[in-house]
Amino acid sequence: CQKCLSLIKKTKFLNAYITVSEEVALKQAEESEKRYKKGHSLGDLDGIPVAVKDNFSTSSIETTCASNMLKGYVPPYNATVVQKLLDKGAVLMGKTNLDEFAMGSGSTDGVFGPVKNPWSYSKQYREKRKQKAHGENEDSNWLITGGSSGGSAAAVAAFTCFAALGSDTGGSTRNPAAHCGVVGFKPSYGLVSRHGLIPLVNSMDVPGILTRCVDDAAIVLGMLAGHDPKDSTTIQDPVKPFTLPTFADVNKLCIGIPKEYLAPELSSEVRSFWSKAANLFESEGAKVIEVSLPHTSYSIVCYHVLCTSEVASNMARFDGLEYGHRCDINVSTEAMYAATRREGFNDVVRGRILSGNFFLLKENYENYFIKAQKVRRLIANDFVNVFNSGVDVLLTPTTLSEAVPYLEFIKEDNRTRSAQDDIFTQAVNMAGFLSCLQDCQQ
């Protein structure tokens, strides 16, 4: 715990943490040590440092969602997943940085500033940059972490904790994990409780897990999965442990490569790693086949309509009365709401609220929201059809390219480009996958 705390201090410039809960962590670690010394039975995570994305409620620790709207907000309870980690003896190092309210794929859009990718400071990258950018300030063009759980990914990659919680609505755990070279796992919808996760899109949000190796992700998943009476969408059936075999036999495993995922924007590097991975599986005896997810091209727009519609509804709770920020204006309740929300939310959040309310207008509802729900069903059915045809897993990239430099990411066209970046991740959030998972467990 002390080593992790000192690494947090050394890597402060990464901006991975919004709050470092040093006192809490040291106290928990001390208690853990006492349990160990007294020979008491230990929890599976006893003494293990973990970090939590700042959109999970943590009792007595500020929870901001990287937004002015929630600055100073201290929840009265722990999110179920946080409580489960603590119950197993985990040591909470702090709350990690993100895009405001988890809207984004760069971790560049939070009120506490962007998160820097630890790999920007690797020898190889520094050499590469030196060759490329003559005379340019070396520190001005570090790589983004991806997002929105970039703080959690950077925290794990920089060895400041062993596991971190992220959230994943359309890729926010997998995307930064890919960019930071750590494991990012998005559980099926309903497998892990969302209670205490401040919602982005209720019908797609899941808590995600970031670790340095797959075994650790499996261990943490085993601790978090299962029914929660406080989240009615969690599965009722008991879950089996997720322990992995020491030797994974891929012989006869059928791996599908969705042909629609060969997007023209896919970088040559990602494409080549994708085919290398497929070849590796094939050489180990797996069957690799081409499959089709015909509605892929609709997934980004469909996600956009559904995400913003749910955002418009979810964000209504931030009215200046119940949580966090309240402006000084008191001429009328409406004026207070409006000014609070203008001061509290960034452009991205306000833009999504506006779009969502547009899609939900009486005259647009059928044409946009209902239509998007129908398309969502088609997208989900694509996956069901592929899995019913005997395919065990799909092998796809996570992002279109490797992590890009910050200055490139924030260029004008960033919004469209970064939305495009979710092409490989968003569709499964819309599909959910619970029924598939239950079939698999049976």
Q: Interacting stretch for ligand GLN, rule CB under 6 A, among 14-22, 88-96, 166-174, 243-251?
A: 166-174
Q: Active site includes 148?
A: yes
Q: Interacting stretch for ligand GLN, rule CB under 6 A, among 21-29, 30-38, 161-169, 384-392?
A: 161-169
Taking the least distance from each CB to ligand GLN, the nearer of 278 and 348 is 348
- Structure token digits, residue 217: 């992700």
165 binds ligand GLN (CB under 6 A): no
102 binds ligand GLN (CB under 6 A): yes
3-state per-residue secondary structure call for the chain: CHHHHHHHHHCHHHCCEEEECHHHHHHHHHHHHHHHHCCCCCCCCCCCEEEEECCECECCECCCCCCHHHCCCCCCCCCHHHHHHHHCCCEEEEEECCCHHHCCCCCCCCCCCCCECHHHHCHHHHHHHHHHCCCCCHHHHCEECCCCCHHHHHHHHCCCCCEEEEEECCCCCHHHHHHHCCEEECCCCCCECCCCECCCCCCCCEEEEEECCHHHHHHHHHHHECCECCECCCCCCCCCCCCCCCCCCCCCCEEEEEHHHCCCCCCHHHHHHHHHHHHHHHHCCCEEEEECCCCHHHHHHHHHHHHHHHHHHHHHHCCCCCCCCCCCCCCCHHHHHHHHHHHHCCHHHHHHHHHHHHHHCHHHHHHHHHHHHHHHHHHHHHHHHHHHCCCCEECCCCCCCCCCEHHHHCCCCHHHHHHHHHHHCHHHHHHCCHHHHHHHHC
Taking the least distance from each CB to ligand GLN, the nearer of 200 and 315 is 200
Question: Which of 171, 184, 356, 397 is close enough to bind ligand GLN by CB under 6 A?
Answer: 171
Question: Which of 82, 178, 306, 307 is close enough to bind ligand GLN by CB under 6 A?
Answer: 307
144 binds ligand GLN (CB under 6 A): no
Taking the least distance from each CB to ligand GLN, the nearer of 66 and 257 is 66
Taking the least distance from each CB to ligand GLN, the nearer of 168 and 228 is 168
Taking the least distance from each CB to ligand GLN, the nearer of 28 and 67 is 67
Taking the least distance from each CB to ligand GLN, the nearer of 200 and 224 is 200
Q: Active site includes 53?
A: yes
Q: How far is the CB of 164 from ligand GLN (least distance, A)?
A: 15
Q: Interacting stretch for ligand GLN, rule CB under 6 A, among 103-111, 274-282, 376-384, 406-414?
A: 103-111
Contact pattern for ligand GLN over residues 190 through 209, marking x by CB under 6 A: ----------x---------
Number of neighbouring beta carbons within 10 Å of residue 412: 7
Catalytic residue among 32, 57, 148, 149: 148
103 binds ligand GLN (CB under 6 A): yes
Q: Which of residues 233-272 bind ligand GLN (CB under 6 A)?
A: none
Nearest residue (beta carbon) to ligand GLN? 172
105 binds ligand GLN (CB under 6 A): yes
310 binds ligand GLN (CB under 6 A): no
Q: Interacting stretch for ligand GLN, rule CB under 6 A, among 3-11, 165-173, 276-284, 325-333?
A: 165-173
138 close to 132: Cβ distance less than 8 angstroms: no
Q: How far is the CB of 200 from ligand GLN (least distance, A)?
A: 5
So which residues are the catalytic ones?
A: 53, 148, 172
- Residues lying near ligand GLN in the complex (CB under 6 A) are found at 102-105, 148, 167-172, 200, 307, 422
